[in-house]
Chains A and B, each alone.
Chain A
């Protein structure tokens, strides 16, 4: 799956996107666990309100623990500020 990072999250990951191929990632929860191990600095933001770091799967926001598959495009967002 492809994971994309936006705005100041890129300061933590140091990349805009990456391809992740890990059999242990089966849903949003296991993806977050994987990312927290890889980027420990995300922890303080993931711990904030539930939706502080938002997740989108294939261009749709998700707020529950949805299943993931290898072709999904995942995006991690900080709070938005358009308009």
Chain B
């Protein structure tokens, strides 16, 4: 399931909602990204996340399918927020559900690597008296 939304979410509720649908889930791996208070040696006050929503849904669905082909996944959940987010707020949750630990953790990392590299989101980071558009480090593989 892919959700792209402005509002915050409860991690445990979101995971339980999916887990209850699958009695064979033995492992759930998660990545949670937060807005941190320091970046590029500057004090961050907030960020604004822009998204190309139609394409983001499509590209995240594609990567979930790839992960499900590569590993024996039972389900995948991605929630990515957009709009204004303050320090300490959640940005993204990726949760992968499988029977065994290695499949879920490998798939979770795979999805996050892709998301960082290709998913059409842009962070504008605000400091006390200026701002900067961020660029993710490019992966070589």
- Binding site of B, secondary structure by majority: helix, strand, loop or mixed? mixed
Question: Given the complex of chains A and B, what is the CA–CA distance between A55 and B32 in angstroms?
Answer: 29
Question: Given the complex of chains A and B, what is the CA–CA distance between A59 and B52 in angstroms?
Answer: 9
Known: A7-B50, A7-B133, A8-B133. A82 touches B116 (CB 8 A): yes
Question: Given the complex of chains A and B, what is the CA–CA distance between A61 and B138 in angstroms?
Answer: 16
> Does B54 contact A59, Cβ atoms closer than 8 Å?
yes
Q: What is the size, in residues, of chain B's interface with A at 8 Å between Cβ atoms?
A: 29
Query: Is A81 an interface position by the 8 A CB rule?
Result: yes
Instruction: Name A77's contact: one of B58, B80, B120, B124 (CB within 8 Å).
Output: B120
- Binding site of A, secondary structure by majority: helix, strand, loop or mixed? loop
**Which of A75, A77, A82 has the most chain B CB atoms inside 10 A of its CB?**
A82
Say which size band chain A's interface belongs to. 10 to 19
> Does B58 contact A79, Cβ atoms closer than 8 Å?
no
Instruction: Name B135's contact: one of A6, A79, A83 (CB within 8 Å).
Output: A79
Instruction: Name B92's contact: one of A8, A61, A75, A83 (CB within 8 Å).
Output: A83
List residues of A whose CB falls within 8 A of some B CB.
Answer: 4, 6-8, 56, 59-61, 75, 77-83
